[in-house]
Chains A and B, each alone.
Chain A
Amino acid sequence: MTTFLFGLAFFLLLNLTAGLGRVIRGPVAVDRMVAAQLFGTTGVGILLILAEAMEEPALRDVGFIFALLAVVVSVAFVKRGWVRGGEGEGDEPPAEEGSR
């Protein structure tokens, strides 16, 4: 069972690494931000699995804090990092994205 759990965590981590490509390639800010949010969700998954596999219940708390605060960065991005109404054509971020 532990082997399976570690395998699952490893698989999720590889997923996360692949998702990094979107953060690096962009091209638009929203792409990077949403990829980073996905990073957070996958990370919480990894933490929950590791809590089970490593028999360390405190890791659930770590995952819980990440899940609770993931929204803060999204909100800061929408409110501060992202100025709506860009001039560059095709740079206009889709209106429905931005928060998780």
Chain B
Amino acid sequence: MPQVTLTVNGTTHTAEVEGRTLLVELLRETLRLTGTHVGCDTSQCGACVVHIDGESVKSCTTLALQANGASVTTIEGLASADGKLHPMQEAFREYHALQCGFCTPGMVMSAIDLVQKNPQGLSEHEIREGLEGNICRCTGYHNIVKAIAAAADVMHGKRAEIAPAMA
């Protein structure tokens, strides 16, 4: 079987995979990083989104071999070594932007890429359009949109900390 070597959350791994093995299968089954989820089989729901070399990618539609030599970040790799959450994680908690938690890892990974790609800032409408590739069945997106806006302010240096949600 072919070999794939990739860096995941800062650690380099080499694994034997089948040609048809998906990146999400490598992450979940071989590396046991089960924070990345599979919610569909048609590349619609976005629960599987990870970053490959800083870009958000649906890992259910990426062959493991395509990630050879790449640096992959999953939800497990977002917080800093001292446990401090990424501003997007912090904002999701502050704004109650998750309920069952299943879409959350992919939603957070997509949201980070969306904010990073838009340093000029995002309107609510643009955030909603930017989430086109991620489905949440629990929240109605209302709080996800608010969380992303709040995280963007911190990620772009406009605020030091996540703005508190109104009680």
Binding partners A and B: no
Chain B positions near chain A (C-beta within 8 angstroms): none
Interface residues in chain A, defined as those with a beta carbon under 8 Å from any beta carbon in chain B: none
